[in-house]
């Protein structure tokens, strides 16, 4: 499958004058200007007050290079040489480079700088490090690692206006290719800040598959959460007249449907892992096109951010969003509810979750905070806490039933094999 599996466009690379492939679904004519796309769709006008606004043209940034395949990291060093990046700052964490020998060996024999990233750095810490990164005078930033590393380099790249090359070693959330960084604030809460999109992305499925499975579960939970994000967006449009960006919505819907429609989903199948990575990339691009996180973040994310405060410890973001997606789908009485529950159960998703998520008293505390997390209209605005607690109870009961039912089916199959 190789590069991003959505519709491919061909465009001239400004660096070498060669043809390169970029992954994007297109509506109308698309013109490439460096890494910025000018997208012309059907003319669209509406009034804001007394002013007639033309929304027929908008520009977005997407990666010029998206490489998703086995051994994709082998192409990073030749890429840096091709782009003539002489002074590169490589942000990573302890022992990660050793997982990718070809990059590790190249760095040892080069003059590139290494920046060690803290686990989940807060905003003040990131601000304090800007000068040291600036003083390195890098002509590119490379982030090799998981969420903390990628958020750090996206933050630095946005503030300092430096090209970004991302090399995710995990597929745990859609931050691998999004214009958003999640940072911790001094009050313990997390917030989402605007950042720049990567110039290039190298996702090596062999590296991603070798990571503990809990990170793949987290990526699945984050990708599936787009379902409820879109439901909330549609609800807001009906109730508050919020505008829906239908192209961004299409990308978001594609990202989760590629997973729901995958036959015999299995993390042991590299094609499914590649589909998950491409789903997360598509989700990130949907946020860039929308200009905000609406296509990929709704009530389920508000509950997850509230849970971060209540738990006062770090659980994986995608574990929380995946679980709360089930609760919100139940609240909507959505046709997707049973299909999502079945997919997550079949893959063993719920077995990776912390017990605290299933606790009713804890969920009650989460609800008290959730509506204040973000000024965003969602189903949380239409239901009171008692209603949501009853929905939570039903969801947990049905998840536990599905788990026990799946376990008994596996036991039966094992017994038949033995006989």
Cα gap 202→2, rounded to integer Å:
11
Q: Does a structural domain hold residue 3?
A: no
Same domain, yes or no: 154 and 200? yes
Measured CA distances, 153 to 133, 366, 376 (Å): 10, 30, 27
Cα gap 284→253, rounded to integer Å:
12
Cα gap 107→88, rounded to integer Å:
10
Alpha carbon of residue 56 to chain centroid: 27
Closest among 325, 309, 216, 231 to 270, alpha carbons compared: 216
Cα gap 198→218, rounded to integer Å:
22
Same domain, yes or no: 57 and 94? no
> DSSP letters along 185-208, please?
-TTS-EEEEE-PPPSEEEEEHHHH
Same domain, yes or no: 184 and 229? no
- Inter-residue contact 276 to 318 (CB < 8 Å): no
Cα gap 138→362, rounded to integer Å:
46
Q: Per the structure block, which two tokens stand in for 25?
A: 């679904």
Q: Mapping DSSP to helix (H, G, I), strand (E, B) and coil, where does residue 364 land?
A: helix
Alpha carbon of residue 246 to chain centroid: 19
Q: Domain containing 24: what range?
A: 8-61
Task: Find all residues with CB under 8 Å of 314, minimum gap 6, and list them.
Answer: 120, 308
Write down the pLDDT at residue 60: 83
Domain count, the chain: 3
Helix or strand run (H / E) with residue 31: strand 29-33
Q: Per the structure block, which two tokens stand in for 322?
A: 């995946």
Strand ordering across the sheet containing 36-40: 29-33, 36-40, 57-61
Same domain, yes or no: 393 and 325? yes
Write down the pLDDT at residue 63: 92
Q: Does a structural domain hold residue 164?
A: yes
Cα gap 245→147, rounded to integer Å:
27
Task: Find all residues with CB under 8 Å of 330, minimum gap 6, and list them.
Answer: 337, 391, 394, 395, 398
Q: Does a structural domain hold residue 348?
A: yes
Same domain, yes or no: 291 and 394? yes
Q: Does a structural domain hold residue 360?
A: yes
Characterize the bridge pairing of strands 140-145 and 190-194.
unpaired
Write down the pLDDT at residue 122: 82
Q: Does a structural domain hold residue 2?
A: no
Q: Does a structural domain hold residue 258?
A: no
Q: Does a structural domain hold residue 1?
A: no
Measured CA distances, 102 to 71, 73, 208 (Å): 10, 8, 16
Q: Mapping DSSP to helix (H, G, I), strand (E, B) and coil, where does residue 124 land?
A: helix
Helix or strand run (H / E) with residue 246: helix 246-260
Mean pLDDT per segment of 10 residues, for the chain of length 419 residues?
34 32 32 41 51 63 93 92 91 81 72 79 86 91 92 92 95 92 75 87 95 96 98 98 95 97 94 97 95 96 94 87 98 97 96 95 97 95 98 97 71 42
Bridge partners (DSSP) listed for residue 88: 140
Same domain, yes or no: 189 and 133? yes
Q: Does a structural domain hold residue 84?
A: yes
Write down the pLDDT at residue 8: 32
The pTM for the full model equals 0.83
Same domain, yes or no: 274 and 390? yes
Domain stop point among 16, 38, 61: 61
Same domain, yes or no: 173 and 222? no
Closest among 291, 321, 154, 148 to 223, alpha carbons compared: 321
């Amino acid at each position: 499958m190789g590069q991003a599996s959505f519709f491919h466009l061909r465009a001239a690379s400004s660096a070498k004058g060669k043809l390169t492939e970029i992954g994007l679904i297109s509506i109308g004519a698309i013109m490439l200007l460096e890494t910025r796309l000018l997208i012309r769709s059907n003319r669209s006008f509406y009034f804001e007050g007394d002013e007639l606004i033309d929304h027929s043209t908008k520009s977005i940034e997407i990666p010029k290079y998206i490489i998703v395949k086995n051994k994709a990291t082998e192409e990073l060093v030749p890429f840096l040489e091709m782009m003539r990046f002489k002074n590169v700052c490589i942000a990573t964490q302890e022992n990660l480079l050793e997982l990718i020998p070809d990059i590790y060996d190249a760095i040892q024999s080069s003059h590139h700088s290494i920046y060690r990233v803290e686990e989940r750095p807060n905003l003040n810490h990131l601000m304090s490090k800007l000068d040291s990164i600036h003083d390195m005078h890098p002509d590119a930033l490379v982030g090799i690692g998981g969420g903390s590393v990628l958020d750090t380099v996206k933050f630095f790249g946005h503030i300092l206006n430096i090209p970004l090359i991302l090399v995710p070693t995990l597929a745990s959330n859609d931050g691998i290719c999004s214009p958003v960084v999640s940072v911790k604030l001094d009050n313990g809460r997390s917030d989402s800040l605007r950042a720049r999109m990567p110039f290039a992305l190298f996702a090596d499925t062999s590296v991603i598959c070798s990571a503990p499975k809990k990170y793949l579960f987290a990526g699945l939970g984050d990708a599936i959460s787009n379902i409820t994000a879109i439901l909330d967006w549609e609800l807001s449009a009906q109730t508050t007249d919020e505008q829906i960006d239908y192209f961004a919505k299409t990308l978001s819907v594609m990202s989760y449907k590629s997973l729901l429609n995958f036959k015999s989903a299995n993390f042991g199948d590299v094609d499914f892992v590649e589909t998950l990575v491409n789903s997360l990339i598509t989700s990130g691009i949907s946020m860039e096109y929308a200009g905000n996180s609406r296509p990929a973040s709704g009530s389920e994310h508000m509950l997850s951010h509230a849970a971060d405060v209540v738990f006062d410890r770090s659980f994986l973001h995608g574990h929380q969003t995946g679980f709360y997606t089930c609760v919100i789908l139940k609240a909507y009485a959505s046709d997707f509810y049973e299909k999502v529950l079945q997919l997550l159960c079949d893959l063993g998703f719920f077995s990776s979750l912390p017990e605290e998520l299933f606790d009713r008293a804890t969920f009650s505390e989460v609800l008290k905070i959730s509506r204040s997390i973000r000024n965003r209209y969602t189903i949380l605005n239409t239901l009171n806490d008692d209603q949501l607690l009853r929905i939570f109870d039903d969801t947990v009961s049905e998840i536990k039933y599905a788990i026990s039912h799946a376990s008994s089916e596996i036991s039966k199959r094992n017994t038949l094999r033995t006989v």
